[in-house]
Amino acid sequence: MVLFALIFVIALIVLMSTRFKISPFLSLLVAGLVMGTVGGLESAQILKTLTQGFGNTLQSIGIVIALGTIIGAYLEKSGGAQRMAETLVRRIGDKRSGLAMNITGFIVSIPVFCDSGFVILSTLNRAISRKTGLSMTVLAVALSTGLYATHVFVPPTPGPLAAAATLGADVGLVIIFGLMVAVPSALAGWLWAEWIGKRLVTRPVLFEDPKDTPQSPPNFARSLLPLGVPIFLIALGSLSSQEGSVFPGSAILEFLGHPVIALMIGVILAMTLKSSGPSHADWMQSGLAQAGSIILITGAGGAFGTILREIQIGDLLGNAFSGWSMGIILPFIVAAFFKTAQGSSTVAIITTAALIFPLLPTLGLAGAEARALTVLAIGAGAMTVSHANDSYFWVVAQFSNMDTATALRSHTMATLFQGITGILLTSILWLVFV
């Protein structure tokens, strides 16, 4: 009965998100209440477990999400994100503008949500298309897939960060492995963009590009620091804490490499990008406003996962899947189902992590490296595929002057190839390290 209830609440989450447009925050809480009731918990215990799960999740992840979105707001409003794109295009060359936009998206999407990143950089896409004659299909898909790769694989993007917290994975290992998977996944999207762009030619809309920033954008190096320094510190801190590390017992490195400290340093560096315009308080508030909904959804996902652990769903699912030697593939399949059904990659990642956590021992994924790779398997599933029920799909289509059929054949197919590339590379890493 509990397993049937689990299937029911999964369908309920999808239905509430897609048909009735209800926030996943509420649908995850309702799912937790249903599962707690069916699992035999008393009403007081259900409420206690929900609130504790919500609080414990945000205790580990809430500050990090908030700091990451502040960095993203400064990069967006200072013009730093656009400056990085312009610099890469200039250095790589007009003929390889698609690759330049792919790399730009890869960098920008680490702290900036992929939807926002695409909107920010779409102006540059139009300018490049007019200048070089390159199809907008190439530029749009190259940019969208570059943004998408780090959006699902590399913390401090909220999705993989929340999954790491839920699964108890080391964030530094997720970053290291995530970059190893994200780079080829991004390039797979770019290669598809180059191929399909020759067959589906789209031209930019002819209107003047607005001025998005009230100040002179910072240079490339300054724009990169708020992203590069925190990632470097987190990765270094993780390596220093590993047994047999070349930096054994380095308390200073571990302190600086804690995600909260590393991102606080990133925020300080981001603040130096502002030279004019509104106050720091306005820019910070913009980032925090964006962080609010994702923090609530993350907390609700943690509450749902805590209910599942309390009713020992892991033992039931473990018995159900005991004859399946799926290992790292099961998290990918579950996340791909959620992504395809309801559209949001972040919701798919958070929900799948909550469902998979009790199964880690059964699937042979309980070790440190295995947990980090499970986050990546979930991320690969959560990009498979972006289609008409995904807001990102419509952002890419509308800002690139693509009709729906063109967007499905170009952007949607690109995310399919990215997801397949991601799970193949994750599986290889699993065979090597686990």
- Report how far residue 148's alpha carbon sits from residue 86's, in angstroms, rounded to the nearest whole number: 20
What is the average pLDDT score of the chain? Answer: 83
- Report how far residue 301's alpha carbon sits from residue 108's, in angstroms, rounded to the nearest whole number: 26
Give percent helix, percent strand, percent coil of the chain, each to the nearest 5.
75, 0, 25
Place of tokens 């340093």: 265
The most confident of the ranges 195-204, 250-259, 350-359, 406-415 is: 406-415
The separation between CA 150 and the C-alpha centre of its own chain, rounded to angstroms, equals: 6
CB 36 within 8 A of CB 45: yes
- Report how far residue 30's alpha carbon sits from residue 50's, in angstroms, rounded to the nearest whole number: 10
CA angle 195, 135, 191 (to 5 degrees): 25
Check pLDDT > 90 for residue 275.
no
CB contact set of 206 (below 8 Å; sequence gap of 6+): none
The beta-carbon contacts of 26-30 under 8 Å, at least 24 apart in sequence, are 26/300, 28/297, 28/300, 28/301, 28/303, 28/304, 28/350, 28/351, 29/300, 29/303, 29/304
CB contact set of 384 (below 8 Å; sequence gap of 6+): 332, 335, 336, 339, 340, 415, 416, 418, 419, 420
| Predicted TM-score (pTM) of this structure | 0.74
> What is the 8-class DSSP label of residue 409?
I
Q: For the segment 118-144, what is each residue's pLDDT rounded down to a tens digit?
A: 876 776 787 778 777 888 999 999 999
The most confident of the ranges 28-37, 53-62, 284-293, 367-376 is: 367-376
DSSP structure string for 354-380 = HHHGGGHHHHT--SHHHHHHHHHHHHH
177/402: higher pLDDT: 177
Residue 423 confidence (pLDDT): 97
Percent of the chain with pLDDT over 70: 89
CB 294 within 8 A of CB 111: no
Name the band, by pLDDT with cuts 50, 70 and 90, for residue 363.
confident
Residue type, 83: R
Q: How far is CA 228 from CA 10, 133, 268, in A?
A: 38, 33, 13
Residue 49 confidence (pLDDT): 92
Least confident window among 99-103, 162-166, 400-404: 400-404
- Report how far residue 217's alpha carbon sits from residue 86's, in angstroms, rounded to the nearest whole number: 11
No. of H helices and E strands in the chain? 21, 0
Residue 213 confidence (pLDDT): 46
Residue 206 confidence (pLDDT): 44
Q: For the segment 42-54, what is each residue's pLDDT rounded down to a tens digit?
A: 999 999 999 998 9
DSSP structure string for 170-196 = -HHHHHHHHHHHHHHHHHHHHHHHHHH
158/123: higher pLDDT: 158
Check pLDDT > 80 for residue 242.
no
Please state the rounded mean pLDDT for residues 196-207: 69
Least confident window among 12-16, 170-174, 264-268: 12-16
Count of CB atoms situated within 10 Å of the CB of 174: 28
Instruction: Find the largest Cα–Cα distance for the chain.
Output: 66
Name the band, by pLDDT with cuts 50, 70 and 90, for residue 315.
low
> What is the 8-class DSSP label of residue 247?
S
320/48: higher pLDDT: 48
Least confident window among 70-84, 116-130, 152-166: 116-130
